[in-house]
Amino acid sequence: MMTHTHLQSTHTYLQLQGLWLPLITPFANGRLDETSLRRLVKHYLTQPVDGFIMAATTGEGLTLDERETEKLVRITADEVAQSGQAIPVYLGVSGSYTDRVVRYIKNTTYWPIDGYLISCPYYTKPSQTGLVQHFTALAASTNRPIVIYNIPYRTGVNLANEAMLQLAELQNIIGVKDCCAIPEQSFELMQNKPVGFQVMTGEDAFLYRALTNGADGGILASAHILTGTIANIRNKLAAGDLVGAKADWAALEHLPELLFAEPSPSPIKHWLWRAGLIESPEVRLPMVPVSADLAKCIDEEMKRHST
């Protein structure tokens, strides 16, 4: 087996930009649906996706055991390798006991992943000093790159910019998935971030605003749908086509509201199921399938985009 060395990971550091997909995990009859997973990965490898995040929130990572998670990343990495594309595969990680998260990361040493997306500890609400020490310990446990996931409305704690910039000085903490939901904090971070530290928005509904304020890209669940259109918004902004980018955003800015009308990833799974990309819209409790009313709305939206 080969481990990822620091030099191997350096190439990945440069790719934290553009559009990253936190891939859903397809299930059938309570088990990982490997056939649908391969179909999904093959499909998105034909789309303008710059990276995959596996077993994160959208991937229902908290419902997966370690064996399932390893199988998930091995299948995905295999499809990426067969495609010949240099698209990084990151693993979503969470936990509120630092030593346990360190052990988990070390258990993944031989997994075919390129880095980690790690959320702030949930429920315990540590201090800023505690958060810095937590992520410093995690960074010391691996030579793979780490992206911090700051989402206080899920975890109960907000990693403030002073602490974030302190962590950004660590060599393998390369960026943040920013869901702080405080526009002033996000803007200040984008203005003050050091070279080599990337800010990726995770707020689907505020993609356009984040990009125009200086975000390096997005890690977006809604990118499962109309992937090319979402990617083009950033591309047009980069090319100076503000009118085109704004028009593209206006055409789909209602999409996040639809896809998050009920707890994610159920609406996305319904869309992908209706599109024939997965065999079942099945989710694991406590998630439940979409309501009949939302299913109807999604089906109608799909018809509009197919004409």
**Positions marked catalytic:** 149, 177
84: left (phi over 0), alpha (psi -120 to 50) or beta: left
| Euclidean distance between CA atoms 120 and 100, whole angstroms | 14
Cα 94–chain centre separation:
13
| CB 201 within 8 Å of CB 215 | yes
The structure tokens 């299948």 sit at: 75
Phi and psi angles of residue 187, each rounded to the nearest 5 degrees, phi first: -65, -45
- As given in the structure block, the two tokens for residue 171 are 């060599």
> For 61, how many CA atoms within 13 A lie in the half-sphere containing its CB?
20
- As given in the structure block, the two tokens for residue 231 are 């990617």
What letter would DSSP give residue 264? T
